[in-house]
Amino acid sequence: MPPTPSLTVRHRDGIHFERDGDPLPRVVADARSAVGEINVVSHAHADHTFRTAPETVVCSSETAAIAEARTGRGFEFVEEVPGIELVPAGHVVGSRAALIDHQEPDGSARRYCYTGDFSVRDRCHLEGFDPHAVDADVLVMETTYGLPDYRFPSQDDLQAEIRDWLRERDDRPLFLFGYSLGRAQKLQWLAREACPDREVLVSESVRDVNRAIAEATDGDLEFLGRPYDSLRGLRDEIVIVPTNQARADWLERAVEREGGLKAGFSGWAVDTSFRYRGNYDETFALTDHCDFDELVATVRAIDPDVVYTHHGFDEAFADVLETEFGYRARPLKRDQTTLEEFC
């Protein structure tokens, strides 16, 4: 059995990679306020970015621009530092996994891979995370959909189904619900592919993300949804709204008044309760995360000595890795440090 890594991993405020006896963690990833010698932000979703940023953050230029657009707070950032390599994570625009090189006490080198939120699927405008290109001894991975219940249709079939649904309902307004960063851009992309002549309307929060992406990519990636001033007098428009507004009273009234249909987009859509929670007319398992089989395939492609799981069904997935595939795997609970704490 390979030796236990000397760099310990904690789930505190973010994920901490620590050396015993050092006053600061070597690396802190996706914290809200905690800082280390090196501070990584994997992507610009609110639960992964700083409230008050440290002096310098390691992240992509797209993540920095989107985070500033969403919060109004800018920060200094770099995309490269010695011992840290950022690679595309395939979650949202600008998302990155971090490869962390660490020198062991015996002089050997060990590499840690922190995935952040990730997806291996190529979809719409985004390329997926490539686990075959990653060489790591320790894998720290998110496992949002880490149960066998969560197996999604192929991406080509799923996108074709969404496009067909949009085309076949061209006589009434459609209200599509997805996160302002991530799902909303893919919905705009699919709407333009399916219905190029229909107007796409978006909320202000979606518009702000669209602008940040366009600026960060020098216009190479643009989304042309127009912010709506009013949702009255709609005919066949496609309206893209943040998921957290799905059951808002004002939105429900607008859908009823305009004779619209609501569609929800999430990996949770494989569970029929998702439709009722959002009061949706239709749901699709469009997600920015891996399904269960893709999580397993990621581990097998990287083939690390140790796997730490966190978020979602972390305990169940770690158990599958140990009992079915023989990996040393443990769920990374808050304030847990080493594998041995679970023995």
Say what the alpha-carbon torsion angle 144, 149, 155, 156 is, to the nearest 10 degrees: -170
331 and 247 part of one domain: no
276 and 300 part of one domain: no
Q: In angstroms, rounded to a whole number, what is the distance separating the alpha carbons of residues 151 and 154? A: 9
122 and 176 part of one domain: no
Assess contact for 169 and 29: CB atoms under 8 A.
no
Structural domains counted in the chain: 2
Domain that holds residue 231: 155-284
- pLDDT, residue 334, reads 62
Q: Does 1 reside within a domain?
A: no
Q: Does 3 reside within a domain?
A: no
Task: Specify which residues 15 forms β-bridges with.
Answer: 11, 29
294 and 145 part of one domain: yes
Looking at residue 242, which CATH number applies to its domain? 3.40.50.10890
Q: In angstroms, rounded to a whole number, what is the distance separating the alpha carbons of residues 229 and 240? A: 13
131 and 100 part of one domain: yes
161 and 120 part of one domain: no
Q: Does 13 reside within a domain?
A: yes
Residue 28: CB partners within 8 Å, gap ≥ 6?
A: 13, 14, 15, 16, 17, 34, 35, 36, 38, 39, 40
25 and 131 part of one domain: yes
pLDDT < 50 stretches in the chain: 336-343
Evaluate if pTM is beyond 0.75. Answer: yes
Q: Reduce the DSSP state of residue 226 to 3 states and report it.
A: strand
133 and 207 part of one domain: no
Q: In angstroms, rounded to a whole number, what is the distance separating the alpha carbons of residues 318 and 328? A: 8
246 and 305 part of one domain: no
- pLDDT, residue 341, reads 32
- pLDDT, residue 50, reads 83
173 and 127 part of one domain: no
Q: Does 270 reside within a domain?
A: yes
Q: Does 2 reside within a domain?
A: no
